[in-house]
């Protein structure tokens, strides 16, 4: 506990003086709080400003509360102050800072054995990850939150966490799991009028999942019932959302129906009166999708408006979705989409960086919490059975030494092999695989370590302990055969589309076919990265040398392979000159490194073609 508080003091003071990534500047003098100042009074003040939606002032007083609570070693108020700061940062769409402060509150709550607060903070954190499109991360965080709330009466938080998992599975395309968790959310939702909105939100998600499964009649029926309920309580915000969803589902069911457009426009009209910015974004996005085929020019107007509202709300996901639509529509209308593609790339890079920061924060905390729990357990056992301390330490060192020796030998041999082959792509794959294997080794050996310690502490038979050591060895050997398979996210196709669009000259016509229809989920991360870089190299080569006027990129999926056919009508090149081009040789090496093949077909004056085939 003392170590925790000391570390917290250092870290919190650093955050306070640096401002914690806040856009609000507060003079240092504002933290000279009198000793007589009450922690309760400061908390009441920040709550008052929060209720008035004066989030800058609320943040200032929350920082004062954190400062004084830290100075007085009051962990409970430290946890509350961090929670308040996270809440206000989220209201201002400073999501990485919000996640940081929620995480600080989580760590203190865990140290206080306050499982209820820990579960609630993990719900806050999972919602941030969900809003940023990190559905794998939000899924994992929400499930962790449920572990803390098992066998508690925090039903509202439990149903909220179940809902986050349901939405995450929906966005990841696992609709059966999404429905299963949606059932859990509905079954754990509290009754009563004050909780009716949560139930409608869960049912609205259910309707969307049913629509994804193409169960349109069921989805429409549920949405119409929800619309009746919303009209009955005169909730324009909810009715506008349901109208929009109903219009989308009716359109998906029958693109030629006469009702969808009216429902979408009615929803937009209500949202304009209410001026709910998030709702306006949704309406304009869905109208842009609706008009994409029927009226591309009008669709482009709606996509542009969605982008403007996304910027107003500072919502990167909405901005990216609107930009993706604009790029596609401008290509269809033969308009220059370079500016949109550049902005898409810039915002996407920022979003990915935010996701990386957030993941790094929680992964570190999770590791520290697991380590802390193990340490506390060991210390309690050592107090009662001090004579076994040396045995436990020896056992730990032995297992860690085995793991360290294995990692050192494996990575040394792996890197030596890669250097001999001189394949940069294989080295990248090795680094990613090493990171995953390191994590898996830590988790696996950590579990074995706990088991082994338990056996030693309970005077287990020596042969049984040796069996555990043998099991650890078998684990480490088995790990060497495993290959990392990491999801890259749901927006890979948009990123690839943006790159292709940004790499062509304004006068070059780019035709892309089959990209949006592909399901990239089962394709490995390294394969997607390699394809991105290879296509980028081909586009760069085209821009520098080909003098092409038209370029086509066709994506095709067979039962066993993913094929990409590139062609341009440029000046082409002789086969001998193709062999001498470093860029093309590098693309061939990249594709071969992931087990694929690439063939070039070109003659002087007859354009250039390349066919890529990689295993799925």
pTM assigned to the model: 0.56
pLDDT for the residue numbered 498: 87
Q: Return the top range by mean pLDDT from 111-115, 182-186, 536-540.
A: 182-186
SS3 516: coil
H helix intervals, 314-423: 316-332, 338-384, 389-421
User: Residue 30 gets which letter from DSSP?
Assistant: G
Average pLDDT estimate for 466-480: 61
pLDDT for the residue numbered 601: 87
Question: How would residue 547 be classed by pLDDT, with cut points 50, 70 and 90?
Answer: confident
Higher pLDDT, 30 or 154: 154
Residue 318 and residue 308: Cα distance in Å, rounded? 10
Residue 197 and residue 242: Cα distance in Å, rounded? 13
Token readout for 246 is 């109903």
Q: List CB contacts of 297: < 8 A, sequence separation 6 or more.
A: 333
Task: Confirm if 171 and 141 have CB atoms less than 8 A apart.
Answer: no
Question: How would residue 284 be classed by pLDDT, with cut points 50, 70 and 90?
Answer: very high
CA angle 245, 250, 254 (to 5 degrees): 150
| Residues in a beta bridge with 83 | none
Give the tens place of pLDDT for each residue, 428-445: 444 444 444 455 555 666
What are the angstrom distances between the C-alpha of 565 and each of 505, 552, 583?
A: 20, 8, 18
Give the tens place of pLDDT for each residue, 38-56: 899 999 999 999 999 999 9
Higher pLDDT, 150 or 174: 174
Residue 405 and residue 409: Cα distance in Å, rounded? 6
Average pLDDT estimate for 247-252: 95
Give the tens place of pLDDT for each residue, 393-406: 566 676 666 766 76
Neighbouring C-beta atoms of residue 211, cutoff 10 Å:
23
What are the angstrom distances between the C-alpha of 226 and each of 171, 215, 305, 534?
A: 22, 17, 28, 49
Question: How would residue 152 be classed by pLDDT, with cut points 50, 70 and 90?
Answer: confident
Task: Confirm if 244 and 263 have CB atoms less than 8 A apart.
Answer: yes
pLDDT for the residue numbered 143: 93
Share of the chain above pLDDT 70, in %: 74
Higher pLDDT, 275 or 194: 275
pLDDT for the residue numbered 490: 78
Residue 565 — φ and ψ, nearest 5°? -110, 115
81-95, 184-198, 209-223, 456-470: the lowest-pLDDT one = 456-470
Q: List CB contacts of 2: < 8 A, sequence separation 6 or more.
A: none
pLDDT reading at 548 higher than 80: yes
Average pLDDT estimate for 137-151: 90
Match 């919303």 to its residue by tokens. Answer: 230
User: Can you say whether residue 374 is alpha, beta or left, with left for phi > 0 and alpha for psi between -120 and 50 degrees?
Assistant: alpha
Residue 68 and residue 66: Cα distance in Å, rounded? 6
Task: Confirm if 539 and 504 have CB atoms less than 8 A apart.
Answer: yes
- Helix 316-332 vs helix 277-294: crossing angle, to nearest 10: 20
CA angle 280, 283, 284 (to 5 degrees): 85
pLDDT for the residue numbered 192: 63
Average pLDDT estimate for 205-227: 95
pLDDT for the residue numbered 553: 95
Token readout for 398 is 């032995």
Residue 584 and residue 144: Cα distance in Å, rounded? 47
Match 């969307």 to its residue by tokens. Answer: 208
pLDDT reading at 12 higher than 80: no
Match 């769409």 to its residue by tokens. Answer: 93
pLDDT reading at 16 higher than 60: no
Q: Which domains are seen in the chain, by residue range? A: 385-479 (no CATH), 492-615 (3.30.565.10)
SS3 519: coil
176-185, 223-232, 288-297, 396-405: the lowest-pLDDT one = 396-405
Residue 63 and residue 398: Cα distance in Å, rounded? 46
pLDDT for the residue numbered 573: 78
User: Residue 545 gets which letter from DSSP?
Assistant: I
Exposure letters 56-65 (e unless 16+ CB within 10 A, then b): ebbbbbbbbb
Neighbouring C-beta atoms of residue 507, cutoff 10 Å:
8
Task: Confirm if 569 and 548 have CB atoms less than 8 A apart.
Answer: yes
Match 């929400």 to its residue by tokens. Answer: 142
Average pLDDT estimate for 373-384: 54
Share of the chain above pLDDT 90, in %: 46
Higher pLDDT, 313 or 195: 313
The DSSP string of 393-405 is: HHHHHHHHHHHHH
User: Residue 546 gets which letter from DSSP?
Assistant: I
Give the tens place of pLDDT for each residue, 485-541: 434 667 888 888 888 888 888 888 999 999 888 888 888 888 888 899 899 888 888
Higher pLDDT, 482 or 497: 497
Task: Confirm if 283 and 312 have CB atoms less than 8 A apart.
Answer: no
pLDDT for the residue numbered 24: 37
Is the Cα dihedral 19, 23, 29, 35 positive or negative? negative
pLDDT for the residue numbered 194: 59
134-143, 158-167, 451-460, 496-505: the lowest-pLDDT one = 451-460
CA angle 228, 187, 144 (to 5 degrees): 125
Half-sphere exposure (Cβ direction) of 286: Cα atoms closer than 13 Å: 28
The DSSP string of 150-201 is: TTSS-HHHHHHHHHHHHHHHHHTT-HHHHHHHHHHHHHHSPPSGGGHHHHHH
pLDDT reading at 230 higher than 90: no
Give the tens place of pLDDT for each residue, 296-338: 999 999 999 999 999 998 889 999 999 999 999 999 999 999 9
pLDDT for the residue numbered 519: 85
229-243, 297-311, 449-463: the lowest-pLDDT one = 449-463
Residue 16 and residue 60: Cα distance in Å, rounded? 10
The DSSP string of 544-601 is: III--SEEEEEEEE-SSEEEEEEEE-S----HHHHHH-HHHHHHHHHHHHTT-EEEEE
pLDDT reading at 343 higher than 70: yes
pLDDT, mean over the chain: 81
Give the tens place of pLDDT for each residue, 564-584: 999 999 888 776 666 656 667
Residue 334 — φ and ψ, nearest 5°? 60, 40
Task: Confirm if 259 and 243 have CB atoms less than 8 A apart.
Answer: no
């Amino acid at each position: 506990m003392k170590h925790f508080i000391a570390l917290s003091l250092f870290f919190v003071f650093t955050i306070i003086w640096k401002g914690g990534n806040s856009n609000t500047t507060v003079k240092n003098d504002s933290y000279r709080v009198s000793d007589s100042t009450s922690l309760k009074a400061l908390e009441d003040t920040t709550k008052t400003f929060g209720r008035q939606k004066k989030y800058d002032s609320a943040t200032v007083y929350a920082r004062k509360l954190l400062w004084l609570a830290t100075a007085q070693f009051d962990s409970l108020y430290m946890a509350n102050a961090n929670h308040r700061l996270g809440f206000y940062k989220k209201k201002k769409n400073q999501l990485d800072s919000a996640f940081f402060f929620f995480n600080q509150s989580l760590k203190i709550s865990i140290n206080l054995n306050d499982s209820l607060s820990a579960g609630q903070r993990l719900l806050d954190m999972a919602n941030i990850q969900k809003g940023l499109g990190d559905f794998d991360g939000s899924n994992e965080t929400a499930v962790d939150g449920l572990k803390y709330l098992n066998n508690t009466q925090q039903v509202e938080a439990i149903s909220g966490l179940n809902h986050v998992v349901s939405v995450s599975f929906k966005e990841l395309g696992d609709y059966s799991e999404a429905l299963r968790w949606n059932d859990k959310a509905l079954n754990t939702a509290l009754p009563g009028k004050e909780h009716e909105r949560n139930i409608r939100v869960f049912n609205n998600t259910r309707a969307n999942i049913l629509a994804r499964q193409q169960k349109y009649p069921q989805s429409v029926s549920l949405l119409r019932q929800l619309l009746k309920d919303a009209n009955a309580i005169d909730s324009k915000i909810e009715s506008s959302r349901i109208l929009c969803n109903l219009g989308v589902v009716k359109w998906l069911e029958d693109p030629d129906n006469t009702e969808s457009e009216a429902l979408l426009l009615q929803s937009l009209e209500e949202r304009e009166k209410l001026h709910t910015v998030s709702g306006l974004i949704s309406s304009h996005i869905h109208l842009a999708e609706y008009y994409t085929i029927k009226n591309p020019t009008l669709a482009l107007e709606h996509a542009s408006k969605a982008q403007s509202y996304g910027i107003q709300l500072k919502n990167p996901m909405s901005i990216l979705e609107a930009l993706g639509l604009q790029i596609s529509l401008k290509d269809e209308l033969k308009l220059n989409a370079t500016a949109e593609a550049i902005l898409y790339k810039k915002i996407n890079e920022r979003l990915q960086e935010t996701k990386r920061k957030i993941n790094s924060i929680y992964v570190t905390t999770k590791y520290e919490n697991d380590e802390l729990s193990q340490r506390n357990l060991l210390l309690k056992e050592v107090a009662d059975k001090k004579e076994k301390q040396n045995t436990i330490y020896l056992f730990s060192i032995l297992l860690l030494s085995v793991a360290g020796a294995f990692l050192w030998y494996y990575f040394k041999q792996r890197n030596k092999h890669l250097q001999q082959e001189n394949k940069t792509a294989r080295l990248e794959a090795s680094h990613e695989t090493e990171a995953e294997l390191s994590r898996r080794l830590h988790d696996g050996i950590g579990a074995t370590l706990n088991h082994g310690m338990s056996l030693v502490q309970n005077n287990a038979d020596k042969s049984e302990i040796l069996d555990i050591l043998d099991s650890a060895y078998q684990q480490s050997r088995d790990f060497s055969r495993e290959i990392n398979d990491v999801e890259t996210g749901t927006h890979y196709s948009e990123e690839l589309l943006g790159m292709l669009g940004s790499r062509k000259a304004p006068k070059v016509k780019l035709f892309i076919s089959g990209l949006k229809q592909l399901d990239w989920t089962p394709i490995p991360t390294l394969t997607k990265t390699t394809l991105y870089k290879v296509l980028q190299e081909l586009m760069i080569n085209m821009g520098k040398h080909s003098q092409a006027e038209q370029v086509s990129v066709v994506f095709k999926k067979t039962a066993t392979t993913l094929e990409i056919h590139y062609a341009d009508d440029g000046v082409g090149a002789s086969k001998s000159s193709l062999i001498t081009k470093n860029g093309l040789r590098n693309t061939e090496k990249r594709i071969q490194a992931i087990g694929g093949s690439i063939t070039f077909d070109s003659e002087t004056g007859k354009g250039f073609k390349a066919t890529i085939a990689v295993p799925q």
